[in-house]
Amino acid sequence: MLSPPATAPVDDWTTDYDIFDPEYVKDPTPVWKDLREGCPMARTDRRGIRSWLPTKYADVQALAKIVPELSSKDPLVVTLPPDMDVVDNSSGLNAPPISADPPEQIWTRRMILPAFAPRAVEAHREFTEDLCNRLIDGFIDDGRCDAAVDYAQQIPPRVIAHMLGFDPNKADDFTEWVRGVLELGLADPKIRVKYRDIIQNFLITEVTSRAKEPRDDYLSELLAMDIPEMKGREIQVVVGIANLLLIAGIDTTWSSIGSALYHFGTHPDDRRRLAADDALFPTALEEMLRYYSPVTMARMAQEDVPFGDIVIRDGEKVLMNFPGANHDEDAFEDADKVLIDRTRNRHIAFGSGIHRCAGSNLARLEMDVSVRTWFARIPEFEVSNPDAVTWAGGQVRGPRKLPMRF
Ligand code: HEM
């Protein structure tokens, strides 16, 4: 696997933070704690652009409201090093509503919300349960597996393929493509552009075929929606939306499932408690989402934006550090502790403000089914070698190798 561009070690996190620092990727909580106490808006000029890292819950929420001055049109976390400018260096993410500001953000979001309402996502429960059971059948007799690769990573691409009406055999390709854009692509723009184009071309073929011959599936439904703003560019809009659903729905959710299994595989007391008491699942899974929040997004200033005692200058970025906000002691008691029965838990793992995750009900369903099914079939398990666990960082953080024995 490619690692992010090599950069110098960090001397001063307040003026030169680096979200790709290997220790930060492994466990960012000590850095957030120090920053929150000393400099809640850290900055860096690494990677060719100044960007800001808020660490306070209230600040992240306030920043999410500054729309469109802090714009989502270029939502990648960091820009790429200038010496990599040889290829198209725009983010290339035509992925509304996440890559749009109002008004486009509003009408594209409206198009997708009904399919992600709580009742609508329930339709995917049985499929997800069968899938989880089949995956477990594949390794349960071995007494060991890689819970990231053999389990967590396998679930969201198949659920999305099922939802969007794609060939289920394509799921492994989706995984590779999404990692190409969001993980490996953050380190190397050539990889990002390659996978972005693969996804776009695949989706153009799929959407065009449905425009010619509608089917009984979700993409055809999107194409047929009566949205005045979409008239004449239906294919482009639906390709963009499908692009987002593919990208936003895959490694986010598998990171959360993987983090939950990592936690219970390294904390036997919590594991035993949850295995003994089903009623704890709702609070335990919300706590996993809070503590191990996977997603950091970015905004880019369209003008100078005064914020507290700093000014975010036109063209600078702000990282929407939802994970860091979720560890703020002012918002959560014992914020750096996992409490699987935490009842007051207004975490913002799914974001805050107008871009709040449209797929949160589906994500929660996938987490609920996959962790419950695992516990029902494999109540006793542990991470076999904690040193062998690897984490992806940057835009989406979660375990990528997770050796488990049971
Ligand atoms: C645990 C899993 C997930 C997490 C933690 C997560 C997190 C997030 C976050 C933080 C945002 C806000 C982005 C921003 O402010 O710029 C977001 C937006 C979004 N997510 Fe998720 N997400 C997850 C799963 C999903 C799934 C399964 C889907 C759908 C298949 C999905 C679809 C979306 C969409 C469409 C948006 C854009 C909403 C908008 O811009 O109006 N997400 N997600």
Q: What is the dihedral of CA 328, 330, 331, 334, to 10 degrees?
A: 70
DSSP per position, 285-297: HHHHHHHT--B-E
* For the CA of 293, the nearest atom of ligand 1: 5
Give dist(CA 8, CA 25) in Å, integer. Answer: 15
Residues 382 and 405 sit within 8 Å (Cβ to Cβ): yes
Mean of pLDDT values over 192-219:
92
pLDDT tens digits for 123-150? 999 999 999 999 999 999 999 999 999 9
pLDDT for 86 beyond 70: no
Q: Is the CB of 359 under 6 A from ligand 1?
A: yes
Show the tokens assigned to 211. Answer: 């425009």
Count other C-beta atoms under 10 Å from residue 181's C-beta. Answer: 27
- What residue's CA is closest to ligand 1, atom 20? 357
Residue 168: exposure state from Cβ atoms within 10 A (0-12, 13-18, ≥19): exposed
- In sequence order, the β-bridge partners of residue 310 are 307
pLDDT tens digits for 45-66? 987 789 999 999 999 999 999 9
Give dist(CA 218, CA 221) in Å, integer. Answer: 5
- The answer to whether the Cα torsion of 217, 163, 206, 93 is positive or negative is positive
> What share of residues in the chain are helix, strand, coil (percent, to 5)?
55, 10, 35
Distance from residue 355's CA to the centre of ligand 1 (Å): 8
Count other C-beta atoms under 10 Å from residue 371's C-beta. Answer: 22
Show the tokens assigned to 202. Answer: 């695949």
Q: Is the CB of 292 under 6 A from ligand 1?
A: no
Q: Is the CB of 72 under 6 A from ligand 1?
A: yes
More confidently predicted of 393 and 306: 306
- The DSSP 8-state label assigned to residue 391 in this structure reads E
Distance from residue 295's CA to the centre of ligand 1 (Å): 8
- In sequence order, the β-bridge partners of residue 300 are 71, 317
Predicted pLDDT at 196: 86
Mean of pLDDT values over 136-165:
96
Show the tokens assigned to 54. Answer: 């808020």
pLDDT tens digits for 231-244? 999 999 999 999 99
Site to probe by mutation for ligand 1, drawn from 72, 252, 291, 370 as the one with most ligand atoms within 8 Å of Cβ, is 252
Our CA angle for 72, 76, 79, nearest 5°, is 115
End-to-end Cα spacing for the chain? 27
- The answer to whether the Cα torsion of 322, 326, 327, 330 is positive or negative is positive
Predicted pLDDT at 90: 45
* For the CA of 64, the nearest atom of ligand 1: 15
pLDDT for 216 beyond 70: yes
Q: Is the CB of 124 under 6 A from ligand 1?
A: no
- The DSSP 8-state label assigned to residue 396 in this structure reads B
Confidence bin at 78 (pLDDT 50/70/90):
low
Q: Is the CB of 36 under 6 A from ligand 1?
A: no
Residue 64 corresponds to which amino acid? A
Angle separating helix axes 281-291 and 268-276, nearest 10 degrees: 150
More confidently predicted of 339 and 90: 339
Show the tokens assigned to 137. Answer: 């059948």
- Point out the least confidently predicted range of 175-184, 221-230, 263-272, 368-377: 175-184
Confidence bin at 189 (pLDDT 50/70/90):
confident
Site to probe by mutation for ligand 1, drawn from 158, 287, 357 as the one with most ligand atoms within 8 Å of Cβ, is 357
Q: 110-115: long-range contacts at Cβ-Cβ below 8 A with a sequence spacing of 24 or more?
A: 111/222, 111/225, 111/227, 111/230, 111/241, 112/222, 112/241, 112/245, 112/358, 113/358, 115/163, 115/218, 115/221
Distance from residue 122's CA to the centre of ligand 1 (Å): 18
Query: Rounded mean pLDDT of the chain?
Result: 91
Distance from residue 255's CA to the centre of ligand 1 (Å): 13
Q: Is the CB of 75 under 6 A from ligand 1?
A: yes
Domain range 22-405, its CATH number among 1.10.630.10, 3.40.50.150, 3.40.50.1370, 1.20.120.450: 1.10.630.10
Which residues, in sequence order, are CB contacts of 178 under 8 Å at separation 6+? 157, 195, 199, 246, 247, 250, 251
Predicted pLDDT at 220: 96
Q: Is 0.85 topped by the overall pTM?
A: yes
Which residues, in sequence order, are CB contacts of 358 under 8 Å at separation 6+? 97, 109, 112, 113, 116
Residues 404 and 148 sit within 8 Å (Cβ to Cβ): no
- Point out the least confidently predicted range of 95-109, 181-195, 251-265: 181-195
pLDDT tens digits for 280-289? 999 999 999 9
Distance from residue 406's CA to the centre of ligand 1 (Å): 32
Distance from residue 333's CA to the centre of ligand 1 (Å): 26
* For the CA of 100, the nearest atom of ligand 1: 40
Give dist(CA 204, CA 261) in Å, integer. Answer: 36
- In sequence order, the β-bridge partners of residue 71 are 300
Three-state DSSP class for residue 383: strand
pLDDT for 214 beyond 50: yes
- In sequence order, the β-bridge partners of residue 403 are 146
Predicted pLDDT at 88: 40
Three-state DSSP class for residue 308: coil
* Per-residue burial over 142-156, b = 16 or more CB atoms within 10 Å of its CB, e = otherwise: eeebbbbbbbbbbbb
- What residue's CA is closest to ligand 1, atom 35? 358
pLDDT tens digits for 13-56? 999 999 989 999 999 999 999 999 999 999 999 877 899 999 99
pLDDT for 94 beyond 90: no
* For the CA of 364, the nearest atom of ligand 1: 1
Predicted pLDDT at 83: 43
